[in-house]
Amino acid sequence: MDGPDGGEAAQPQPLEWRFAQVFGERAAGEDVQEVDIISAIEFDRSGDHLATGDKGGRVVLFERTDARDQNGSRRELERQDVPITRHLEFRYKTEFQSHEPEFDYLKSLEIEEKINKIKWCQTANNALSLLSTNDKTIKYWKVQEKKVKRVSVMNLDTSQSVGSSSAVSAGTSSSKAPLPNGGCSEKFNCPNNDLSFPPGGYASLRLPVVTSLEANPVARCRRVYAHAHDYHINSISNNSDGETFISADDLRINLWNLEINSQSFNIVDVKPSNMEDLTEVITCAEFHPTHCNTLAYSSSKGSIRLIDLRQSALCDNHSKIFEEHEAPGSRSFFTEIIASISDIKFSRDGRYILGRDYMTLKLWDLNMDSGPVSTFQVHEHLRPKLCDLYENDSIFDKFECCLSGDGLRVATGSYGNMFRVFGCTPGSMEATTLEASRNPMRRQVANPTRPTRTLASFTCGVRRGGENAGADANGNSFDFSTKLLHLAWHPTENSIACAAANSLYMYYA
């Protein structure tokens, strides 16, 4: 990155991260229910709303409450050079049950209600729209403010009447039911002269009053996109045209129109004619943020393919492939497993694409497929523990990744409920480790030095291969059951939302 005078641009200062707020934090010793564990996080394009999904099939929405005053929005205040000291704040808005557990009787297969992905759609008529999916079914939800009406004043107060005469004559039988207008129900066989109507009528007789309470958000399922995937859906992504989206499973990517749920178009199919010849599966798919004809998908072999929908109806051939070949002699039993890419994200401007495999983050320039522009070692100190990670299935954990809105930093999660933030500008030395807690800097270690293109030896203060391998900066053994898989970066500000079990933590810098 060059400056105006042709020299290297000044490096941005490393960010100092602070705890902002937490939702659903556990008390000490409190057990977490499996259905409450967060499985998806997503900001909308404006950053004013945040959605989370959990293993119980619920979607919870949060809305931003800070930086709103009579002068306008936070961005307007910044343009006016008005100092702003408050950080991002969100509050609970609403929640709804998106998916229920199902059973496929034809395949004798249980379908979990767990929310795999959430994607926001374009907002229209002050209504929030989003897509959510479990393993098999995608749903299109619309959340809108609705005023609830109720009758607040009844039409009669029997304690008030004109005159001193009684509403009911003394001879009225207890088995006869008077009506508010002085009459009587026919089913009780009341004689016409049993009840006397007060002279002047009832002063309190009036029409019921219907009042509107405060507007409450109401979620309504607009469409259900089902029966299009034989394998588990791992990702969905909205197109920039606002009309279409894709859904991907292990072997196929389908293209949908938001308005049509009865059919989809298969645009990528990697299923071989003989399943014994299967060598890789699709792990994630993402539309380009601005080019509606371009999308990328990653594979279990560690490659990212860029495809152009204008080339053909079935995109068997990619326009570009981004993959880094392993060094000769470095292959091991775990090589293919840890090479599998669990998540990909385009930068906001669409120039870069970020991929997360088990051990590293790789940042690719779409104009340069010879190699990544930066590689970040997330937990290299776990390499001696790969056998243990394989035994307890942790090696198959799917960590997500994200980029800042300005494209200067990337972030991803790790074990011990920690996440890492790296500077990705050329020459940047920024590499911060934080723990998902009220004191996120508790386990932070000194930023290690690294070359411009790669972070080759970020060991989190632990000796590689030594007796403390697999321990954190304080020497405590890692608990591989605590992991930070899901996180999202605010689209315009330096704020990160991340999930640790059932708790949603938010940080700002």
Q: 418-473 pLDDT, tens per residue?
A: 999 999 888 888 999 999 988 877 654 444 433 333 333 222 322 223 333 445 55
CATH number, position 139: 2.130.10.10
The pLDDT tens digits for 31-71 are 889 999 999 999 999 999 999 999 999 999 999 997 544 34
∠ CA 388-392-397, nearest 5°, is 100
Residue 59 in domain = yes
Q: Is the distance from CB of 247 to CB of 253 less than 8 angstroms?
A: yes
Residue 158 in domain = no
The pLDDT tens digits for 80-120 are 554 454 678 999 999 999 999 998 888 888 999 999 999 99
Distances from the Cα of 409 to the Cα of 316, 322, 424, 495, angstroms: 33, 20, 5, 12
pTM (2 d.p.): 0.78
Q: Is the distance from CB of 336 to CB of 343 less than 8 angstroms?
A: no
DSSP run (H or E) holding 391: helix 386-391
Residue 323 in domain = yes
Residue 405 in domain = yes
Residue 166 in domain = no
Phi, psi of 343 (to 5 degrees): -160, 145
Q: What total of structural domains would you count in the chain?
A: 1
Residue 26 in domain = yes
Residue 204 in domain = no
Average pLDDT, whole number, for the chain? Answer: 82
Q: Which residue carries 């619920």 as its tokens?
A: 58
Once rounded to an integer, what is the mean pLDDT over residues 207-224? 85
Give the domain extent around 123. 18-150+213-508
Spatial separation of the C-alpha atoms in residues 341 and 352, rounded to whole Å: 16
∠ CA 206-208-211, nearest 5°, is 135
SS3 (DSSP) at 123: coil
Band of pLDDT at residue 154, cut at 50, 70 and 90: low
Residue 403 in domain = yes
Per-residue DSSP letter, 469:
T
